[in-house]
Amino acid sequence: MHWLNWVVVGVYLVYVVVDGIRKSKGTDSLAGFFVANRSLSWWVVGLSVMATQLSAITMIGTPGQGATDGIRFVQFYFGLPIAMVILGVTLVPFLHGSGVYTAYEYLERRFDAKTRSLTAFLFLLSRGMAAGTIIAAPGVVLSAIFGIPLSWAVALIGVPTVIYTMVGGVQAVAWADVKQMFLIVFALLAIVVVLIVKMPVNPDDALRIAGATGRLETFDFSFDLTETYTFWSGIIGGTFLMLSYFGTDQSQVQRYLTSRSIDEARSSLLMSAYWKIPLQALVLLVGIGIFVYYQFVRPPLLYNPAHEQAVVDTRGAEYSALQERYEEMFSLRSDAALATANAEADTESAAGMETFLEREADIQGIRAEALTMAEEVTGESSRDVNYIIPRFALSELPIGLAGLFIAGVIAAAMSSISSELNSLATTSIIDFYRRWARPEGTDEHYLLVSKGATAFWGLFACIVATYAATLGSLIEVVNRFGSFFYGSILGVFLLAMIPWAKGRGAFYGLIAGMSFVGFVNFRMPEIAFLWHNVIGAVTVVVVGLVLSGFGPRNAPSASDTA
Amino acid sequence: MSETPPPSKSEARAKFRRTLVQVLVVQAVALAVLAFLQIRYGS
């Protein structure tokens, strides 16, 4: 990468740390450190909510998904606006109004200590691992692209994030999120502009080429439980997932607990509802644009430069032969793509499209051979979807803008990790340390251990990141982690809003929900993971209500009360 | 960037309702654009 691009990345990293430390004013108490004294405006919280959800996985994995699979992934987010509206009138007033630091604290007030501790433990388990994968996604890509060890790439992202999160608490995190969100959107728009300027065909022709390969098929109305992304899995499964993520996951709940009022908390969530689908569609369209651009400008046969080098080093002759076939087939496909775009009559168009699709299948066949070769040589997964957009940015964006894109990827990672670290520290201290180990400590003491907990979780996430590198599609990995627990935890919060539900029903309902999701996951793997959220939530509510109907009414015991 | 004073409760509620309507309109437009792309260019 050109030195000027490195300067841009360096300036960003220094700025984010210095600004984070500046924003630590007023965080010298537990309420300041964990909920910013409930003083933030709706738009700050709203952007923080969005930046937390928009991770580096979205920046690099989603355009890659658009390039290879098209726009249908956007269906995953169809439930988000619905979930935000439901949360605005249900859980948000409960949680914000109760003055808690964590969502799980509320569960003890409503049920008992063991339900609180179990849900808090599940959060620490799933989000602790997820924080690792969130660093790993950009870490692996930056390491391969710049030829630096993975641990350096992980440190580049992790260390500045830990510093400003540890020093400035949630206030620094929220304000950093705001600036990072602007940087991310700017970097994406820069790619859109470059694509429009450099595209060899006009937008209408580009869309025709993308459409011919099925990449503009957004809606799949089939009610098929085995299909991951359909309209129904997005609307039903997605609503449950988003209800759980935004309503019960401390990394998101903590964002709106910093709002000045319940109404501002609601408005902050609606900001996500407003932008998420258009933004996600834009990110996928960027990937589709890159796919069309690469019909006319030859992309590398393998997008992962580290794998490409390994194959060249060990099976050079074989790879060269494959490369020759690829170059030959590429020019044939380019001609076919151009013919498809320029076709005027319907019959001419249909014939051109058929030839184009045949050439496209040939290219994919050659790519599959190269990927198999890379897998055999490296012993790693050779899936290179996450490398498409960084390779494009570094080769096609002007100097300076390419650095800004890399800074945007790092910003996207930081904005998610900082919220995760902040919320992991909050849950560790509020739901475990203060609840069970040292209930009578001073504010100063809790503040000190909270900073220690932030550093601990930062270190843990970096270690997980170095081992999560070989996991398959990172988008699905993170979502799968969540789906295993999310639905069941949502079920407990739904039970909390039903007046006759009891602690015993909530606790055993939660165990039943997770067990059933585990059973479905292992025994019926064909059921798409988005449905796990529905299955978990419904099981917890049904089992919880049945169990609440039996036995004596359980008033929380003295030992159970905080 | 400095913080502005918090709006009153009724102002905040009115703002919430306005935002809700805007959310619905933006989603409808986004879905209409996606549907147009699928109908016009879909294979």
B16–A267 CB contact, under 8 Å: yes
* Residue A497 DSSP symbol: T
Chain B within 8 Å of A31 (Cβ-Cβ)? no
3-state SS record for A427-441: HHHHHHHHHHHCCCC
Task: Give pLDDT, residue A100.
Answer: 92
Per-residue confidence band for B38, with pLDDT thresholds at 50, 70 and 90: very high
Chain B residues whose CB is inside 8 A of the A218 CB are 34-35, 37-38
Alpha-carbon span A485 to A417, nearest angstrom: 20
Phi, psi dihedral angles at A40 (to 5 degrees): -90, 150
pTM, full prediction: 0.87
Q: Are A521 and A531 in contact (CB under 8 A)?
A: no
Helix axes A401-426, A250-257, angle to 10 degrees: 90
Q: Are A393 and A220 in contact (CB under 8 A)?
A: no
In this structure, what token pair is assigned to residue A255?
A: 């964002």
Closest residue by Cα to residue A247 from A24, A89, A394: A89
- Alpha-carbon dihedral sign for residues A90, A91, A93, A94: positive
A384-406 burial, b for 16+ CB within 10 Å, e for fewer?
bbbbbbbbbbbebbeeebbbbbb
Task: Give pLDDT, residue A561.
Answer: 36
Alpha-carbon span A254 to A250, nearest angstrom: 6
Task: Give pLDDT, residue B7.
Answer: 63
Task: Give pLDDT, residue A558.
Answer: 38
Closest residue by Cα to residue A79 from A252, A270, A234, A220: A234
Helix ranges (H only) for chain B are: 9-41
Task: Give pLDDT, residue A229.
Answer: 86
Alpha-carbon span A501 to A380, nearest angstrom: 49
DSSP string over A287-320: HHHHHHHHHHSPPPSSS-HHHHHHHHHHHHHHHH
DSSP SS3 for A40: strand
DSSP string over A180-227: HHHHHHHHHHHHHHHHHHH-SS-HHHHHHHHHHTTTT--------TT-
Closest-CA residue of chain A to B25: A274
Run means of pLDDT, 10 residues per run, chain A, 562 residues:
90 92 81 90 91 87 92 93 90 88 93 94 85 84 85 92 93 93 93 93 91 92 86 90 90 92 89 89 95 94 91 93 94 89 70 87 94 90 86 91 93 93 96 93 92 95 76 52 79 91 94 91 84 92 90 46 36
* Count of beta carbons in the 10 Å neighbourhood of residue A212: 23
Closest residue by Cα to residue A256 from A486, A490, A36, A26: A36
Q: Are A4 and A167 in contact (CB under 8 A)?
A: no
User: In sequence order, which residues have a C-beta less than 8 Å from that of residue A177 and are 6 or more positions away?
Assistant: A47, A48, A50, A51, A52, A415, A418, A419
3-state SS record for A83-140: HHHHHHHCHHHHHHHCCCCCHHHHHHHHCCHHHHHHHHHHHHHHHHHHHHHHHHHHHH
The answer, yes or no, to whether residue B2 has pLDDT greater than 70, is no
In B, residues 7-36, which contact A (CB 8 Å cutoff)? Answer: 9, 12-13, 15-16, 19-20, 22-24, 26-27, 30-31, 33-35
Task: Give pLDDT, residue A555.
Answer: 47
A217–B34 CB contact, under 8 Å: no
Chain B within 8 Å of A72 (Cβ-Cβ)? no
Closest residue by Cα to residue A395 from A295, A281, A293, A279: A293
Cα angle A235-A240-A241, degrees, rounded to a multiple of 5:
100
- Whole-number Cα distances in Å, B42 to A212, A213, A285, A287, B36: 7, 8, 14, 17, 9
* Count of beta carbons in the 10 Å neighbourhood of residue B1: 7
Closest-CA residue of chain B to A273: B23
Task: Give pLDDT, residue A469.
Answer: 56
Closest residue by Cα to residue A252 from A53, A414, A108, A118: A53
Alpha-carbon span A236 to A535, nearest angstrom: 11
Alpha-carbon span A73 to A273, nearest angstrom: 17
3-state SS record for A226-279: CCCCCHHHHHHHHHHHHHHHHHHCHHHHHHHHCECCHHHHHHHHHHHHHHHHHH
Of A41, A81, A212, the CB nearest to B27: A81
Chain B within 8 Å of A211 (Cβ-Cβ)? yes
Closest-CA residue of chain B to A212: B43
Measured in angstroms, the CA of A152 and the nearest CA of chain B are apart by: 33
DSSP SS3 for A442: coil
A274–B37 CB contact, under 8 Å: no
Measured in angstroms, the CA of A199 and the nearest CA of chain B are apart by: 18
Closest-CA residue of chain B to A40: B3
Helix ranges (H only) for A343-429 are: 346-378, 388-396, 401-426
Alpha-carbon span A123 to A253, nearest angstrom: 12
A207–B40 CB contact, under 8 Å: yes
In this structure, what token pair is assigned to residue A546?
A: 């049945």
Chain B within 8 Å of A97 (Cβ-Cβ)? no
Closest residue by Cα to residue A285 from A391, A196, A397, A198: A196
ipTM surpassing 0.85, yes or no? no
